Amino acid sequence: MAVRKRADRYQVRVTIARGQRIERTLPAGATRADARALEAALLRRAVENASGRKPTRLIDEAITRWTRDAKTLKSYQKDLRYRLDVVRGYTAGKTLDDLPDVAEKVKAAGREAELSTAAINRYLAILRRVGNLAEKWGWTDKPLGRRIEMLPGEQARHVYLTPEEVGRLADAARLPVVRDFIVFAALTGLRRSEILGLRPEQIRGGAVILDARTKSGKPRIVPLPVEAVEIAAQRVPWAIGAPLLNKVFREARTATKMQHVRLHDLRHTYASWLAQDGASMAAIRDLLGHSSLSVTSRYAHLARPDLDAVTRGLRVRKDA
């Protein structure tokens, strides 16, 4: 069969001149329609090559060529390769001429998923880069990269909750594991992926020990407040996946009329509490695992030098 499904991914096999076989595996999330589109594109390529016409290039071909060099970048392992996996979910079987349409679909999906403008623009930047490189390589004579418009109004979010607001949000979650997750996230500043990936052996001496397999690529130690230690002892490893966690969290924020709050805002909240309690920007940088102080400086306006720096004294529930 030219199109078949193995596990959760589609495979496309096409036989062209002289019995040469071409096989491609689509990324997770691609549909049968995507596989059929890729099959048609590969067959069209074979016809073009046989007739001597200039081939119609696929977006995925451009991504593959680019990533041969991009893999040497420090940012590739930390962030780019994960974003490329997401982008490939929209580009399967699409030609370079489809780049602007793919960009619009990425925008729409990002808005539906309630991603920030900055997050959506990171995906658009990948498509723009691919378009610019394709023009540079002579794969197209169209300014495809310049046709992709970034979303305006990109700015850092400044949503910081009080302990009382975090408590209300947690109490509104219908699953106890999500209630504890919300509190734990606010008390540690860990990213969602870092929390869900925690293992019992990473909790030692009242702290979380993270290795270099984090977004920043830096190992770090995060001291845990007493309440977070108690949650970790009961919940790690976390018995919940990201989809269900996100769903229950959205329900909780609706119930508390805090629809503007995102799960990642709990990380910002943690940093804001530290800044208000007098922690230095360097200490906040190290606790959050930021790559530089310039990233941490967004919290500088919250600093209160007249207060003592604390982490273990933070609490959400008074009776915990």
Of 29-33, 147-151, 242-246, which range is least confident?
Answer: 29-33
Q: Is the pLDDT of residue 286 over 70?
A: yes
- CB neighbours of residue 162 within 10 Å: 12
Strand order in the sheet with 3-6: 3-6, 9-15, 21-25
How confident is the model at residue 268, as a pLDDT?
A: 94
pTM metric for this prediction: 0.56
Please choose, from the candidates 286, 10, 297, 314, the residue with its C-alpha nearest in 3D space to the C-alpha of residue 163.
314
How confident is the model at residue 309, as a pLDDT?
A: 47
Q: Is the pLDDT of residue 308 over 50?
A: no
For 52: left if phi > 0, alpha if psi spans -120 to 50, otherwise beta; the answer is: left
Q: How far is the C-alpha of 216 from the C-alpha of 123, rounded, in Å?
A: 18
Q: Which uninterrupted H or E stretch holds 276? A: helix 265-276
Q: How far is the C-alpha of 270 from the C-alpha of 195, rounded, in Å?
A: 14
Tokens of 257: 């009329």
Q: How far is the C-alpha of 76 from the C-alpha of 69, rounded, in Å?
A: 10
pLDDT bracket for residue 39 (50, 70, 90)? confident
Please choose, from the candidates 304, 302, 300, the residue with its C-alpha nearest in 3D space to the C-alpha of residue 290.
300
Q: Tell me the domain boundaries of the chain.
A: 1-56, 58-155, 163-302
CATH homologous superfamily of domain 163-302?
Intergrase catalytic core (1.10.443.10)
- The answer to whether the CB of 198 falls within 8 A of the CB of 236 is yes
Task: Please state the separation of Cα 135 from the chain's center in Å.
Answer: 28
Q: How far is the C-alpha of 295 from the C-alpha of 291, rounded, in Å?
A: 7
How confident is the model at residue 307, as a pLDDT?
A: 43
How confident is the model at residue 56, as a pLDDT?
A: 76
Beta bridge partners of 99: none
Beta bridge partners of 221: 209
Average pLDDT score over residue span 278-303: 83
Average pLDDT score over residue span 285-307: 74
Q: Is the pLDDT of residue 74 over 70?
A: no
Beta bridge partners of 210: 220
Tokens of 132: 């610019």
Q: How far is the C-alpha of 104 from the C-alpha of 118, rounded, in Å?
A: 15
**SS3 label, residue 306:** coil
